[in-house]
């Protein structure tokens, strides 16, 4: 451990769902999905240092003791009988319960960083298994980039990196419960997944980023009719290319150029929405460490 850096800093990026189809309900109560996920430049920042106990300090948000960073640290510590602890500082920048995968990304970043801090070399399969125990989206965030997601979310296949585009994120400022959105799904929201699979199959390095549909959209509007006003506001400034991300309520819109994205961002902020201009990002390469 002595030659290891005692502090690790890592970005935990948000994701958007460029397409999301629900193909059915599973015996375990979860849903079978086919989705294309993309990490974007908006990110939480985690700083982890060796300590005696596991502590998590959150800045920029209020999280309960059952937050995914604490759960990830305790799971890894228990599984590998680690004597050491860690002090984790989480700088929260991704809106919470927003369909952007912030909590899941934090969990993946925690696992990756603690492997380094605690000097653990886990097989990718074990890391994936631990990630899936923490949440359906967590395995995707171990690598990020552009991926086809299947099963409950744990079947992750890397896709070619598309031509970079800008994504405007817009959030109406209230959280929406993911279980509530899934619970209000109707059979008519299910499809066979072919649209998303076809979009994925057609992707080549540098080809245009896919833009599909989101099967959770109707369910979101059933749970939260207010979320529709946000989609309408974004569609107005983004000329129709707007979609709900995950279970919402964040809406994203695709832009070829940065400038119109920034202009739309400013307009939506004037309407009282939280909004950020982001870029699609490539898969994770290495953890950035600082002493």
User: Catalytic positions, please?
Assistant: 15, 137
Segment interacting with ligand C5P, rule: CB under 6 A, options 106-114, 116-124, 178-186, 193-201: 178-186
Chosen residue from 10, 18, 33, 220 binding ligand C5P by CB under 6 A: 33
Segment interacting with ligand C5P, rule: CB under 6 A, options 47-55, 129-137, 161-169, 229-237: 129-137
- C-alpha count within 13 angstroms, C-beta hemisphere, residue 130: 26
CA dist 145 to 13, 202, 283, Å?
Answer: 10, 17, 4
Question: In the bound complex, what is the minimum distance in angstroms from residue 163's beta carbon to ligand C5P?
Answer: 29
CA dist 218 to 157, 171, 183, 215, Å?
Answer: 27, 17, 12, 7
Question: In the bound complex, what is the minimum distance in angstroms from residue 223's beta carbon to ligand C5P?
Answer: 12
* DSSP letter, residue 28: T
Question: In the bound complex, what is the minimum distance in angstroms from residue 181's beta carbon to ligand C5P?
Answer: 8
Cα distance between residue 243 and residue 21, in whole Å: 13
Asked if 157 contacts 201 with a C-beta cutoff of 8 angstroms, the reply is no
Q: Which two tokens stand for residue 271?
A: 């309407």
Q: What is the radius of gyration, based on Cα positions, of the chain?
A: 19
Question: In the bound complex, what is the minimum distance in angstroms from residue 49's beta carbon to ligand C5P?
Answer: 28
Regarding 166 and contact with ligand C5P (CB under 6 A), the answer is: no
Regarding 31 and contact with ligand C5P (CB under 6 A), the answer is: yes
If the CB atoms of residues 216 and 234 are measured against ligand C5P, the closer one turns out to be 216
Regarding 179 and contact with ligand C5P (CB under 6 A), the answer is: yes
| Number of chain positions touching ligand C5P (CB under 6 A) | 11
* DSSP letter, residue 193: S
If the CB atoms of residues 30 and 174 are measured against ligand C5P, the closer one turns out to be 30
Segment interacting with ligand C5P, rule: CB under 6 A, options 77-85, 160-168, 174-182, 277-285: 174-182
Asked if 173 contacts 216 with a C-beta cutoff of 8 angstroms, the reply is no
Regarding 152 and contact with ligand C5P (CB under 6 A), the answer is: yes
E strands in 60-117: 85-91
* DSSP letter, residue 108: H
Asked if 52 contacts 21 with a C-beta cutoff of 8 angstroms, the reply is no
If the CB atoms of residues 15 and 261 are measured against ligand C5P, the closer one turns out to be 15
Strand duo 7-25 + 54-59: pairing: unpaired
Place of tokens 């319960």: 97
If the CB atoms of residues 132 and 238 are measured against ligand C5P, the closer one turns out to be 132
Question: In the bound complex, what is the minimum distance in angstroms from residue 176's beta carbon to ligand C5P?
Answer: 11
Chosen residue from 4, 6, 24, 30 binding ligand C5P by CB under 6 A: 30
Regarding 182 and contact with ligand C5P (CB under 6 A), the answer is: yes
Segment interacting with ligand C5P, rule: CB under 6 A, options 76-84, 133-141, 162-170, 211-219: 133-141
With 0-12 CB in 10 A as exposed, 13-18 as middle and 19+ as buried, what is 109?
buried
Report the interface residues with ligand C5P, using CB under 6 A: 30-31, 33, 135-137, 152-153, 178-179, 182
């Amino acid at each position: 451990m002595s030659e290891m850096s005692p502090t690790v800093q890592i970005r935990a990026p948000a994701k958007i769902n460029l397409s999301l189809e629900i193909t059915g309900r599973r015996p375990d109560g979860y849903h079978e999905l086919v989705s294309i996920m993309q990490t974007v430049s908006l990110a939480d920042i985690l700083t982890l240092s060796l300590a005696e106990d596991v502590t998590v300090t959150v800045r920029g948000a209020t999280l309960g003791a059952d937050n995914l960073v604490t759960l990830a640290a305790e799971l890894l510590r228990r599984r590998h009988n680690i004597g050491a602890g860690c002090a984790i500082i989480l700088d929260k920048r991704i809106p919470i319960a927003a369909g952007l995968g912030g909590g899941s990304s934090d969990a993946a970043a925690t696992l990756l960083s603690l492997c380094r801090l605690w000097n653990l070399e886990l097989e990718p399969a074990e890391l994936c298994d631990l990630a899936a125990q923490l949440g359906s989206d967590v395995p995707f965030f171990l690598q990020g980039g552009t991926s086809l997601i299947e099963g409950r979310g744990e079947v992750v296949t890397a896709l070619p990196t598309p031509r970079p585009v800008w994504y405007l994120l817009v959030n109406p400022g209230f959280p929406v419960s993911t279980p509530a959105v899934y619970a209000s799904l109707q059979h008519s929201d299910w499809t066979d997944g072919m649209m998303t699979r076809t979009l994925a199959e057609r992707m080549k390095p540098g080809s245009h980023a896919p833009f599909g549909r989101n099967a959770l959209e109707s369910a979101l509007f059933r749970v939260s009719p207010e979320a529709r006003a946000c989609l309408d506001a974004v569609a107005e400034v983004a000329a129709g290319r707007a979609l709900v991300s995950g279970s919402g309520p964040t809406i994203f819109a695709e832009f070829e150029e940065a400038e119109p994205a920034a202009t739309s961002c400013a307009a939506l902020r004037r309407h009282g929405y939280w909004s950020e201009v982001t870029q699609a990002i490539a898969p994770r390469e290495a953890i950035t460490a600082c002493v």
